[in-house]
């Protein structure tokens, strides 16, 4: 680079630019937080849904599935599974019925031996997640 563009100019762009864009990011974050209540379905977060999130986390569901498109890509998207399967009963039935030893030659979800309370909670959590306003993502019901 030419001599007219000095190291201290480069340094100032670094510090100035970083601080400016971080402050802008904080401002956008502030605005996002104020806009969230209209989109994030927070009214549906009951104690049961909160427990469901813990069940979701403590069984590492994200290690195979995506949730709103984030996670692992080994198993179906679950952000819209409530809509895909149609009911919390269907979700619970699926989780409950996983064979302990898997399915020969195929991918299979482990049998997590969840209690009825945990099953209800995780199903309610997935119902809550499906009703978050995600700007129409995923493109269709298959996730």
Partner 1 sequence: MKYQSQAVAKPYFIAAIGLFIGQIVFGVILGLQYVVGDFLFPEIPFNVARMVHTNLLIVWLLFGFMGAAYYLVPEESETELHSPGLAILTFWIFLVAGALTVLGYLLVPYASLAEMTGNALLPTMGREFLEQPTITKLGIVVVALAFLFNIGMTILKGRKTVVSLVLLIGLVGLAVFFLFSFYNPDNLVKDKYYWWWVVHLWVEGVWELILGSILAFVLIKTTGVDREVIEKWLYVIIAMTLITGIIGTGHHYYWIGTPEYWQWWGSIFSAMEPIPFFMMTVFAFNMVNRRRRNHPNQAAVLWALGTAVMAFLGAGVWGFMHTLAPINYYTHGTQITAAHGHMAFYGAYVMIVITMISYAMPMLRGRNAANSGSSQVVEMWSFWLMTVSMVFITLFLTAAGVLQTYIQRYTDDPQPFMVVQEKIEIFYWMREVAGVVFLLGLILYAMSFFVGGAEPEEA
**Contact flag: residue 27 with partner 1 (CB under 8 A):** no
**Contact flag: residue 94 with partner 1 (CB under 8 A):** no
- Number of residues in contact with partner 1, rule: CB under 8 A? 76
- Residue 8, classified by CB atoms within 10 Å of its CB into exposed (0-12), middle (13-18) or buried (19+), is exposed
Going by C-beta distance under 8 Å and a sequence separation of 6 or more, which residues neighbour residue 77?
65, 66, 67, 69, 138, 143
* Smallest distance, partner 1 to C-beta of residue 88, A: 17
Residues 37-66 close enough to bind partner 1 by CB under 8 A = 39-42, 45, 49-50, 53-54, 56-64, 66
Decide whether 92 or 128 has the Cβ nearer to partner 1: 128
Which of 126, 132, 131, 129 lies closest to 114, judged by CA? 126
Decide whether 35 or 93 has the Cβ nearer to partner 1: 35
**Contact flag: residue 115 with partner 1 (CB under 8 A):** no
* Smallest distance, partner 1 to C-beta of residue 121, A: 12
* Smallest distance, partner 1 to C-beta of residue 60, A: 4
Going by C-beta distance under 8 Å and a sequence separation of 6 or more, which residues neighbour residue 131?
41, 44, 82
Secondary structure class of 129 (helix, strand, coil): helix
């Amino acid at each position: 680079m030419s001599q007219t563009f000095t190291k201290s100019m480069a340094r100032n762009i670094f510090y100035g630019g970083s601080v400016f864009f971080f402050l802008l990011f904080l401002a956008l974050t502030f605005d996002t937080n104020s806009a969230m209540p209209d989109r994030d379905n927070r009214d549906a977060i009951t104690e049961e849904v909160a427990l469901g999130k813990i069940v979701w986390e403590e069984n590492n569901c994200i290690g195979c599935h995506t949730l709103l498109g984030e996670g692992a890509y080994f198993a179906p998207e679950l952000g819209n599974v409530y809509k895909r399967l149609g009911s919390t009963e269907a979700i619970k039935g699926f989780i409950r019925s996983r064979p302990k030893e898997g399915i020969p030659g195929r991918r299979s979800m482990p049998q997590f031996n969840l209690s009825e309370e945990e099953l209800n909670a995780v199903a309610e959590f997935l119902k809550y997640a499906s009703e978050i306003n995600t700007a129409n993502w995923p493109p269709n019901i298959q996730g």
